[in-house]
Structure formats: C-alpha cells, structure tokens
Amino acid sequence: MTRLLIVDDSALMRKLLVEIFSASGDFDIAVARNADEALAQLHAFRPDVITLDIHMPGMDGLACLDRIMIERPCPVVMVSSLTEEGADETLEALSLGAVDFIAKPQGPVSLEIDTISAALVDKVRAAAKARISRTLRLADRVRLRTGAPNRPKPSPAARPRRRGKNAPLEDIAAVLVGVSTGGPPALDVLLQPLPADFPWPIVIAQHMPASFTGPLARRLDRNCALPVSEAARPGPLEPGNVYIGRGDADLLISRRKGSAVVMPAPASPDLPWHPSTDRLVESAIETLGAKRLVGVLLTGMGADGAGAMARMRSEGGHVIAQDSETSVVWGMPGALVALDGADHVLPLGDIPGQLVDWAMG
C-alpha cells in the first residue's frame, strides 16, 4: 500500500479526494487540514507521497512545501487553480521540489471532480515512485534564499541568428524536445546553459494546461540567454529561438510559402497527452526530414514521443534520451531506450553540452 497524505483546508475537497483514492484500493490515507497538521503527519505517518493545496490559511502551500523538502523530502503533487496566478505559484512549487501538479476543476468541485479523478490517481501513483534529489533541491533553495542573480539576459542585439560556421551537423533545422512530469525544472537545466548564439531553433512539447504554458515560457525567457516564447499562433521557425507549445493543443512544424513555420493545432482526440510529442516529431519529419532533426526526450510518465523519435533515429536523425538517474519519472525516455531509439542516454546536466558540441563544434 502507498501511504498518501492529503493536505487541504476544504473539508469537501478532503472528502472527495479520500473517496477517489480509497476507491482505487492501493492507498493508505491520512489527511491534514493545514500546514501545521501536515508537518506533524510528515513524521508521524511518514507518507510516500503528498497532495498539497497551494492556498491554505496560515502557512500556505509553498511555505509548507519548502518545509517538507527541508525536513523530510517526499514526492509532492500540488493541487492548483487554472488561473494565471495559480500557474505562477505552481511553477514556483515545481522549482522548490514538487514532482507534479493537478489543476482543480473550474466548475463546482463536487460536480466536476470526476473529470480529474483518473489523471489525479495516475499522477499520484507515478509521483510516489519518483526520485527526489535532495542535493539538487538544497542547491536550488540556497540560490533562491540568497537572491543570487541568474546569468544576465543579453540584449536583442547580442543574440545573433547565424549558424556556427564549423558546426558538425550544419544542416540541422530544429531541436525537438518532449517532456512531461518534472518538466519545468528540467527545462531550466536544459536551456539555461545554452549560449545566446546557439544556432538552432528549439521546439518544446511540455504536457500542461493552456493557462500554464504562457507563464512557463515567460519564466524561462527571464532566465535564459535564448528568447523563449509560447507558440500560440503560427510563426516562422527562426534560428536561436525557443518555442513552447500551447497547452491543451498540439504543436506542429509545417511549411508556408517555402519556409518552415511552427504552429498550434487542435489537440488530436486520438492522443492522450498534449501538446503531443509524437505529433510534433511526426510533423517535423514530414516537413524537414529526419536527418535535419535532433530529438531530446526528457522526464515524464507514459511513452509520448518514444515511437516518433525512434523513427527519427532510424531515418538518420540524432536522438538523446535523459537517463533514469536524473529523471523524475523514467517513462518517456525509458520507452525510447527500450525501442533502441536513442543515440545517447545522458544525465540531464550533460545534454546542453552535447547540443552545444553538435551545433557549434
């Protein structure tokens, strides 16, 4: 049995969550009404996984999460609202060490809870098996608390759009990234080391709701040398730019008037996760050809992207899978490795260097 601690100040929400997880049959459940009770249960109940509401009276969910990661690091799934404020708070929680999040229903909770129950159980089961890096969390906390500045973002004039003259893969047209559970912190690690003159466009499918991907793009843009934007409308695929797919939709690469474009598309009903990495990669193969692509499959549950990136490699593309030790959940990259679809299986921190080596010699 998985020991689950449910932390929520709403009696109704606690009742509904207890009913959902009790029905699944594989959870031993305890509840807490506030952060103080949660911290007491952290040591008395010793949960394997926690669901934690962000908004609580007294100590809020972010402060409680910080204490959890200091006192007894444990996988945490945040329960968030779908507002932009909720998105910013959730991204902050993920940077502090939360494994994943689930968005509350937008309508009456008692009527709409069934719409998220299956996804919630799946996320909590996956989170219970997730790896928590205590060392990485401590380093992040020190940086946040001391106010150490991030690397200054260069002015637009310092962001050349040219390819490196001696690039060993000089014909590459795009880097395609697929990521899910554990994605926002992983994207920080992937993108922050890339220099302002990195020559290739990077297109990212991160499984998230639509209200979260804009704040994620803005957060990454503040912290990275490369410009990062949400691909909310069709636009040119430009060197040295990073594009985040809009949540609850899919992201495609196509061609208009002879030029490659990146464009959102309605979410395919045949696929479970959006933006779909498989659909992104397939569209890029058809538009640009596999040999002109680099694929990077990062942490996430499920297998989205594994089949398409394995095809990419078989047709001459270059593919990297994140290794199991640095993945929060080694689902997507693990499925890719099982298909023999990766040229390299690397720790997350080594992937930016590999991309720079390929792109810039």
Q: Is the peptide bond before 236 cis (omega within 30 degrees of 0)?
A: no
Residue in 80, 100, 207, 323 annotated catalytic: 207
Contact 37, 14 (CB under 8 A): no
Please answer whether residues 213 and 247 qualify as being in contact, where contact means their C-beta atoms are separated by less than 8 angstroms.
yes
Helix (H) or strand (E) holding 166: none
**Contacts of range 250-254, beta carbons closer than 8 Å, 24 or more positions apart:** 250/205, 250/274, 250/275, 250/276, 250/279, 250/280, 251/203, 251/205, 251/275, 251/276, 251/279, 251/280, 252/279, 252/280, 252/283, 253/174, 253/203, 253/280, 253/283, 253/284, 253/287, 253/288, 254/283, 254/287
Fill in the amino acid letter for 63: A
Catalytic-labelled residue, pool 80, 81, 117, 180: 180
What's the helix, strand, coil split of the chain in %, to 5? 40, 20, 35
The yes-or-no answer on residue 122 being catalytic is: no
Beta-carbon contacts of residue 152 (< 8 Å; ≥ 6 apart): none
Question: The tokens 């009456």 sit on which residue?
Answer: 108
Pairing of strands 242-245, 202-206: parallel
Catalytic residue among 48, 278, 304, 323: 304
For residue 360, give every residue at least 6 positions away whose Cβ sits within 8 Å of its Cβ, in sequence order, or none.
Answer: 164, 166, 167, 195, 197, 198, 199
Which positions are annotated as active-site residues?
180, 207, 304
